[in-house]
Amino acid sequence: MSRGVAPRVWAVGALCHAVADALDARFNPVTVQGEISGFSRAASGHCYFALKDASGQLRCAMFRRAASLVDFSPRDGDQVEVRGRLAVYEPRGDLQLVVESLSRAGQGALFEQFLQRKAKLEAEGLFDPARKRALPTMPRAVGVVTSLGAAALHDVVTALRRRVPHIPVVLAPAAVQGAGAPAELVRALQSLWTSPQPVDVILLVRGGGSIEDLWAFNDETLARAIVQSPVPVVCGVGHETDFTIADFCADLRAPTPTAAAELVSAPREVWLGALDLIEGKLNDALGARLDLLGQRLDLAAGRLGRPSSVVLRQQLRLAREAQRLRYAVASQHQRLAQRARTAHQGWPALLQGSLRQQRERLDRLDTRLRLLDPAQVLQRGYAWLVDARGQAVTSTARIAAGDALSARLADGSLDVHVDAVRTRPPPTRGA
């Protein structure tokens, strides 16, 4: 420093900010390997710990989003590799590493591949939610792709048998770990597409493990096969914190294999309850329809009436017409007698004309009487019922089971024995 030049005086906050900028420009992003010490997880989900080795120690902060992507539970003493950004926590002036990813030591290269592949396939639209399909409500059959020796197979089959024992399960076995696993998984998926037993949904499952154990499910060829599947694919790989490329490509991700089975199998009790509800609604609708038709039938029966009632009404009408005829004949005789007394000439012709008119009227009345004759009613299929005393039967109240009746038809009569009496309620007013 030159003589006479005063040193720069920094404000504390400004200096911290300048140091943070220098660190960011010089080091970030940075990858560090060391041993976890003093690990803690706050209620907010953020994690705090120190990363140390034989010659140094660095405070670290891993926020909730990054912590949710960690595929194991970090503990003190774990050798890990972290990737993040150096920063200065200005309120205290502490140097800290803001962790963006954390893996067991030796997994850093794999995780880097995972991130690169994920970014590539996401840019191609393989993870686009718009292309993903809804799961079938009632699949005809469920396809399962996993290893024959995997615990995941037992978990899936147990869940499906418990919830939907009537739905067939089609297994396509494949290795779920190792160099040849991705190709086997692709072939297993494709075999289900052409299976003799058509499947409506496919479960791609395996249990948890390290990033190396699950690496087959990060294969790009497998990812494209999942997207090309003609039926929805549910991916249930690992535990809830495990994420693979297959999870992002699948139509739906399940946190565990058992959860994958439950997502495609609504319990049988749910469907039986729905059927009971539908049955109740159908019965109610059918009962209401039958009640309506019954009312219409009662109304029609009331309008038609009984044959005996029709005959009785016709008899009363016939009696009224006969009375009117007798009155008309008597009146005509009176008028003729009056005319005979007042006119001595031409009365025979007048009498004959009047008689002719009366004959024509009598003929018309005779025709009407024949139409009202009960025998004509019998010609239309009705029967006249009489009891043993010859009285007309007009009500079921006068009849009992065991009575002997006579039914008069148009061309003869029948002897009738009453086996049972059924009474019809009177029609409802306004029905």
d(CA 300, CA 11): 104
| Segment 211-235 mean pLDDT | 92
More confident residue, 89 or 74: 74
Is it the case that residue 345 has pLDDT exceeding 60? Answer: no
- Higher-pLDDT residue of 210, 236: 236
Compute CA distances 200 → 140, 170, 269, 282, whole Å. 6, 11, 21, 30
Q: Residue 307 corresponds to which tokens in the numbers above?
A: 């044959």
Domain boundary among 360, 377, 394: 377
Residue 279 within any structural domain of the chain:
no
**What's the rounded Cα separation, in Å, for the pair 341 and 325?**
25
How far is the C-alpha of 252 from the C-alpha of 133, rounded, in Å? 8
Is residue 121 a part of any domain in this protein? Answer: no
156 and 254 co-located in one domain: yes
Least Cα distance to 145 among 214, 265, 247, 237 occurs for 237
DSSP 424: P
The answer to which of 222-236, 263-277, 294-308 has the lowest mean pLDDT is 294-308
pTM above 0.75, yes or no: no
Tell me how many domains the chain contains: 4
Last residue of a domain, one of 377, 392, 407: 377
- Whether 187 and 166 share a structural domain: yes
User: What confidence tens digit (pLDDT) does each residue in 142-197 have?
Assistant: 999 999 988 899 999 999 998 888 889 999 999 999 889 999 999 999 999 999 99
Higher pLDDT, residue 137 or 225? 225
Rg (CA), the chain: 51
Would you say 195 and 170 are in contact if contact means Cβ atoms under 8 Å apart? yes
Averaged pLDDT for residues 110-139: 89
Q: Does the structure show a pLDDT above 70 at 339?
A: no
| Same domain, yes or no: 204 and 173 | yes
Candidates 135, 139, 185; CA nearest to 160 is 139
For residues 111-130, give the mean pLDDT. 90
Q: How does residue 373 score in pLDDT terms, banded at 50, 70 and 90?
A: low
Tell me, yes or no, whether 99 and 168 share the same domain.
no
* Residue 308 CB contacts under 8 Å (≥ 6 apart), including other chains: 384, 385, 392, 393, 394
Look at residue 431 in the predicted model and tell me its pLDDT.
Answer: 44
Identify the residue whose tokens are 């009155």: 327
What is the pLDDT averaged over residues 394-402?
81
Mean per-residue pLDDT over the chain, rounded: 82
Same domain, 200 and 247: yes
Structure tokens at 302: 């009331």
The CATH code of the domain that includes 87 is 2.40.50.140
Q: Cα(50)–Cα(206) distance, rounded to whole angstroms?
A: 34
296 in any annotated domain: no
CA 343 to chain centre: 100
The pLDDT value given to residue 142: 95
What is the average pLDDT across 36-57?
A: 87
**Concatenated DSSP letters of 233-293:** EEEEESSTT---HHHHHSSEE-SSHHHHHHHT---HHHHHHHHHHHHHHHHHHHHHHHHHH
Cβ atoms 343, 332 nearer than 8 A: no
Q: Which tens digit of pLDDT belongs to each residue from 290-325?
A: 878 878 877 776 666 566 666 777 778 888 888 888
What mean pLDDT comes out for the span 409-425?
Answer: 80
Contact 260, 254 (CB under 8 A): yes
Burial 31-52 (b: 16+ CB within 10 A, else e): ebebbbeebeeeeeeebebbbe
Q: Are residues 313 and 256 in the same domain?
A: no
Q: Are strands 252-253 and 384-386 parallel, antiparallel or unpaired?
A: unpaired
Of 162-166, 378-382, 405-409, the poorest mean pLDDT is in 378-382
The residue range of the domain holding 397 is: 383-431
Same domain, 361 and 391: no
Is 118 a domain residue?
no
Residue 281 domain-assigned? no
Tokens of 41: 């997880």
Residue 174 lies in a domain: yes
The CATH number linked to 166 is: 3.40.50.261
What gap in Å lies between CA 326 and CA 261, rounded to an integer? Answer: 98
- Looking at the fold, whether 239 and 321 belong to one and the same domain comes out as no
Structure-token match 């089971």, residue found: 401
Confidence bin at 24 (pLDDT 50/70/90): low
DSSP 392: B
The per-residue pLDDT for 428 is 60
In a domain, 271, yes or no: no
Q: Answer whether 408's CB lies under 8 Å from 424's CB.
A: no
Backbone angles phi, psi at 136, to 5 degrees: -65, 140
Q: Are residues 246 and 326 located together in one domain of the fold?
A: no
Q: Is residue 90 part of a domain?
A: yes
Which of 72, 106, 140 lies at the terminal end of a domain, its last residue?
106
Residues 251 and 340 grouped into a single domain: no
Query: Do 366 and 399 have their domain in common?
Result: no
User: Are 165 and 259 members of one domain?
Assistant: yes
